[in-house]
């Protein structure tokens, strides 16, 4: 696992400070294309960036995923999340999020993948699902996958439905960058906090690639940083 570096933090707030400095360094070094994630894990990071003097006005961003059927006006959409937590505070040169309301979802995925390939992400941020998913690549997704329409796992619907009115309100399909799309980023930073994420990180540190745990696909990538508050993972 020489490609995977661990940063142990005391909690989400410390992680946000570390990620603020990391972002500053990346921007100073000329980062132009940034891969962004959603989820509660990312909120303190975006809050820190939003309050900072960081300048994203020359940066192009790509988000990982979006629920099918939810547009930017829906507070449960990832487009809304990004506008609310980051884009309304910091202007970017361009921002891209898969369009979950597109009429032809397959065409939308193909276009998104083409844009991504063209742009080449310098740094991709990731969270991880309790079942080891990255973006919405659920267990069983081939590591060769590109941007696609996916069916959410029952466990993901259970966890993520906490943000919806009730379980029946959460879409059971989504558009997501594939695992190969994610691995094409030059650098990857994954954040994982709390005991619920322990088993996913443990699968990664075992060092065995398996599609049962999409997070283990990161073992194929040359430059991965894991930021976590979990004791006993990095040793």
Ligand X SMILES: N[C@@H]1[C@@H](O)[C@H](O)[C@@H](COP(=O)(O)O)O[C@@H]1O
Q: Return the range that interacts with ligand X (CB under 6 A); candidates 94-102, 114-122, 128-136, 201-209.
A: 128-136
Q: Which of 65, 113, 203, 229 is catalytic?
A: 65
Nearer to ligand X, 142 or 171 (CB): 171
Nearer to ligand X, 47 or 93 (CB): 47
Q: Is 135 in the site for ligand X (CB under 6 A)?
A: yes
Q: What are phi and psi of 188, to 5 degrees?
A: -130, 135
Stretch 33-52: interaction string toward ligand X, x if CB under 6 A: ----xxxxx-----------
Q: Is 65 a catalytic residue?
A: yes
Q: Is 129 in the site for ligand X (CB under 6 A)?
A: yes
Q: How far is the CB of 185 from ligand X (least distance, A)?
A: 14
Number of residues in contact with ligand X under rule CB under 6 A: 14
Using alpha carbons only, how large is the chain's radius of gyration in Å? Answer: 16
Q: Hey, what's the torsion of the CAs at 73, 150, 212, 45, to 10 degrees?
A: -20
Distance (Å, whole) CA 102 – CA 175: 10
CB–CB of 84/47 below 8 Å?
A: no
Stretch 139-178: interaction string toward ligand X, x if CB under 6 A: -----------------x---x------------------
What are the tokens at 194?
């709390």
What are the tokens at 132?
């080891």
Stated as kind and residue range, the H or E segment containing 51 is helix 43-51
Torsion over CA: 34, 99, 51, 229 (sign)? negative
Q: Is 138 a catalytic residue?
A: yes
Nearer to ligand X, 30 or 140 (CB): 140
Q: Is 138 in the site for ligand X (CB under 6 A)?
A: no
Q: Which of 26, 63, 99, 131 is catalytic?
A: 131
Q: Which of 26, 108, 122, 133 is catalytic?
A: 133
CA angle at 147 for the pair 73 and 193, rounded to the nearest 5°: 70
Q: What are phi and psi of 175, to 5 degrees?
A: -105, 135
Q: Return the range that interacts with ligand X (CB under 6 A); candidates 15-23, 32-40, 85-93, 203-211.
A: 32-40
Q: How far is the CB of 37 from ligand X (least distance, A)?
A: 5
Q: Is 131 a catalytic residue?
A: yes
Q: What are phi and psi of 227, to 5 degrees?
A: -110, 120
Q: How far is the CB of 178 from ligand X (least distance, A)?
A: 13
Inter-helix orientation angle 43-51/12-28, to 10°: 50
Q: Is 28 a catalytic residue?
A: no
Q: 134 in helix, strand or coil?
A: strand
Gap between the terminal Cα atoms of the chain? 12
Residues designated as active site? 65, 131, 133, 138
Query: Contact positions toward ligand X, by CB under 6 A?
Result: 37-41, 64-65, 127-129, 135-136, 156, 160
């Amino acid at each position: 696992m020489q490609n995977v570096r661990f940063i142990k933090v005391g909690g989400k707030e410390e992680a946000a400070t570390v990620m603020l400095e990391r972002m500053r360094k990346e921007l100073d070094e000329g980062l132009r294309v940034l891969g962004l994630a959603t989820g509660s894990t990312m909120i303190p990071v975006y809050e820190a960036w939003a309050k900072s003097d960081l300048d994203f006005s020359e940066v192009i961003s790509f988000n990982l995923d979006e629920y099918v059927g939810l547009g930017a006006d829906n507070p449960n959409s990832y487009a809304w999340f990004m506008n609310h937590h980051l884009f309304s505070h910091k202007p970017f040169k361009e921002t891209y999020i898969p369009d979950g309301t597109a009429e032809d979802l397959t065409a939308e995925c193909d276009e998104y993948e083409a844009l991504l390939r063209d742009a080449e992400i310098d740094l991709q941020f990731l969270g991880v699902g309790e079942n080891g998913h990255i973006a919405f690549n659920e267990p069983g997704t081939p590591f060769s996958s590109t941007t696609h329409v996916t069916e959410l796992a029952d466990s993901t619907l259970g966890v993520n439905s906490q943000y919806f009115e009730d379980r029946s309100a959460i879409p059971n399909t989504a558009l997501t960058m594939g695992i190969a799309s994610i691995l094409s980023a030059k650098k990857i930073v994954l954040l994982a906090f709390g005991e619920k994420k322990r088993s996913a990180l443990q699968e990664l540190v075992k060092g065995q690639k398996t599609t049962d745990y999409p997070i283990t696909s990161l073992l194929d990538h040359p430059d991965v940083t894991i930021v976590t508050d979990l004791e006993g993972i990095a040793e």
